[in-house]
Homo-oligomer: A and B are copies of this chain.
Amino acid sequence: MTRPRALLVVTGSELVRGERTDRNGPFLAREVLEHGLDPARVTIVGDAEVELEAALREGLQADLMLTSGGLGPTHDDRTVELLARVTGRPLRVDAELEATIGAVSRSVADRLGRPYADFERGVRKQASLPEGAVSVGLAGTAPGLVLEHEGCLVVVLPGPPPELRRLWASALESEPMRRLLARARPPGRRVLRFFGASESSIARALEEAGGERPGVETTICARDFEIHVDLVVDPGAEREADELEAALVAPVEQWLFSRDERPVEEHVLDLCRARGLTLATAESCTGGLVAERITRVPGASDVFLGATVAYADEVKTEQLGVPPELIERHGAVSAEVAAAMASGARARFRADVAVGITGVAGPGGGTPEKPVGLVYVAAETPEGARGIDFSYPSDRDAVRSRAAVASLHLLRRMLTRS
């Protein structure tokens, strides 16, 4: 039994030109997959009529077509008009919808001090639906729609991501969607997260575990210097998945750090919280990135006290108590200074746990002995101190990101083992 097939059509000139990265396609693909349908294709087009029309026509071949964007009041927003054309359905003004959109537009007109007449044509356009289409709610003045056409369910959604998400939730509740989802098979999902192993070593472990098995789809991907393995498991294939998972993990278990999607900073916070420990960071080349990642997590404030970004050497000395002689002797980028930064942060913030990071992010500042990409990280917990270093000659962003990830994993390992 195959899953119902879903095609996504995303429209936006700035998207097809690469001026903005599409977020709606990935969101809808994940949603579709989670509900047991097969996201088979994402098509991104601009507002050129011929391109959008062709994309919509192809979308009708699927069991589900989701569209994002092109619902505004102006003439270059064409999704609904072209949907009417490709389904051969006349556009009709929905009187009730016209009244609702009219009321919203009137209040906008009042607020802007413009005559309502300016809006009237737009209101009429946005209230015009292909015969058989039903509104699932408004995003501003644009209705989201569902329409059944010759075995394809079409869901028309607005472009702005928050609005799209809201109307998608409402479309999921619609009758035609419920009927489609009754034919779907929501898969199980398992997640394995590794740090410290290469993508090829994990790929080899998977291969030696027998590769994919019937009913189990596996993706391996390197993301943010970690290796993420996702298993999508058909109903009934749980035992196959258990076996595959066990065989895959066995040879690489020492690098497995998570079976859920919490990012590493959340692991660090949870490990600290469980033991009532507080945390601080002292950052040079990462410039606050580690603190920023930690404080992305809601509720970080019950563990995280603060950070010193010590970009200038005087700041390392004055704010973190790193002895100037140490910098003089070993250089600001050294294992000794990283350790002194961690100790300094722990003392100054009166934190239980602290990490110090110093490195050459580049593109300037490298020397033959201390090249771009060289990073030292040191961490202190109540149980002791540890330092690591690595060399990752790359661009500035990548060096900084890798230094941040390495710091967080060092903390995680020390807090896990102790």
Please give the residue numbers on chain A whose beta carbons come within 8 Å of chain B beta carbons, in ascending order.
13-23, 25-31, 33, 39-46, 48, 51, 55, 112, 200, 217, 219, 221, 223, 230, 232, 281, 283, 286-292, 294-296, 298-301, 304-312, 314-315, 318-319, 348-350, 361-365, 396-397, 400
Among residues of B, the one whose C-beta sits closest to the C-beta of A30 is B18
Cβ B287 vs Cβ A289 within 8 A: no
Cβ B295 vs Cβ A292 within 8 A: no
- Contact A305 to B315, CB < 8 A, known contacts A40-B48, A43-B42: yes
Cβ B46 vs Cβ A17 within 8 A: no
Report which of B19, B33, B300, B306 forms a contact with A221, defined as CB distance below 8 A.
B19
Q: Can you report 21 A-B residue pairs in the complex whose CB atoms are below 8 A from each other?
A: A16-B41, A18-B33, A25-B44, A41-B43, A286-B292, A286-B295, A287-B291, A287-B296, A287-B300, A289-B292, A295-B309, A298-B362, A298-B363, A298-B364, A299-B364, A300-B311, A301-B311, A304-B311, A305-B315, A307-B309, A308-B308
Given known contacts A306-B310, A315-B349, what 15 new A-B pairs fall within 8 Å (CB)? A16-B29, A16-B39, A16-B40, A18-B27, A19-B221, A20-B221, A20-B223, A21-B23, A41-B44, A43-B44, A287-B288, A288-B290, A288-B309, A295-B309, A319-B348
Report which of B22, B41, B292, B295 forms a contact with A51, defined as CB distance below 8 A.
B41
Given the complex, which residues of B lie within 8 Å of A55, measured CB to CB? 41
- Contact A306 to B319, CB < 8 A, known contacts A13-B219, A44-B25, A221-B14: yes
| Bound CA–CA A317/B14 (angstroms) | 47
Given the complex, which residues of B lie within 8 Å of A21, measured CB to CB? 21-23, 26
Q: How far is the CB of A295 from chain B (nearest CB, A)?
A: 3
Among residues of B, the one whose C-beta sits closest to the C-beta of A23 is B21
Among residues of B, the one whose C-beta sits closest to the C-beta of A42 is B44
Among residues of B, the one whose C-beta sits closest to the C-beta of A223 is B20
Q: How far is the CB of A344 from chain B (nearest CB, A)?
A: 12
| Bound CA–CA A138/B82 (angstroms) | 43
- Contact A294 to B287, CB < 8 A, known contacts A25-B44, A315-B305, A348-B319: yes
Given the complex, which residues of B lie within 8 Å of A319, measured CB to CB? 306, 308, 319, 348-349
Q: How far is the CB of A307 from chain B (nearest CB, A)?
A: 4
| Bound CA–CA A19/B221 (angstroms) | 9
| Bound CA–CA A21/B10 (angstroms) | 14
Report which of B33, B295, B312 forms a contact with A288, defined as CB distance below 8 A.
B295
Cβ A26 vs Cβ B18 within 8 A: yes
Given the complex, which residues of B lie within 8 Å of A295, measured CB to CB? 286-288, 309, 311, 361, 400
Cβ B45 vs Cβ A18 within 8 A: no
Q: How far is the CB of A236 from chain B (nearest CB, A)?
A: 21
Report which of B28, B307, B361 forms a contact with A307, defined as CB distance below 8 A.
B307
Cβ A312 vs Cβ B307 within 8 A: no
Which A-B residue pairs are the 10 nearest by beta carbons? A287-B295, A288-B288, A18-B29, A18-B26, A288-B291, A307-B309, A306-B315, A18-B30, A42-B44, A288-B292
Most chain B CB inside 10 Å of its own CB: which residue of A286, A299, A307? A307
Q: How far is the CB of A380 from chain B (nearest CB, A)?
A: 18
Q: How far is the CB of A27 from chain B (nearest CB, A)?
A: 6
Q: How far is the CB of A60 from chain B (nearest CB, A)?
A: 14
Cβ B45 vs Cβ A40 within 8 A: yes
| Bound CA–CA A296/B363 (angstroms) | 11
Cβ B27 vs Cβ A39 within 8 A: no
| Bound CA–CA A39/B46 (angstroms) | 9
Q: How far is the CB of A1 from chain B (nearest CB, A)?
A: 16
| Bound CA–CA A300/B292 (angstroms) | 18
Among residues of B, the one whose C-beta sits closest to the C-beta of A316 is B306
Given the complex, which residues of B lie within 8 Å of A310, measured CB to CB? 306
Q: How far is the CB of A188 from chain B (nearest CB, A)?
A: 15
Given the complex, which residues of B lie within 8 Å of A308, measured CB to CB? 306-309, 319
Q: How far is the CB of A99 from chain B (nearest CB, A)?
A: 23
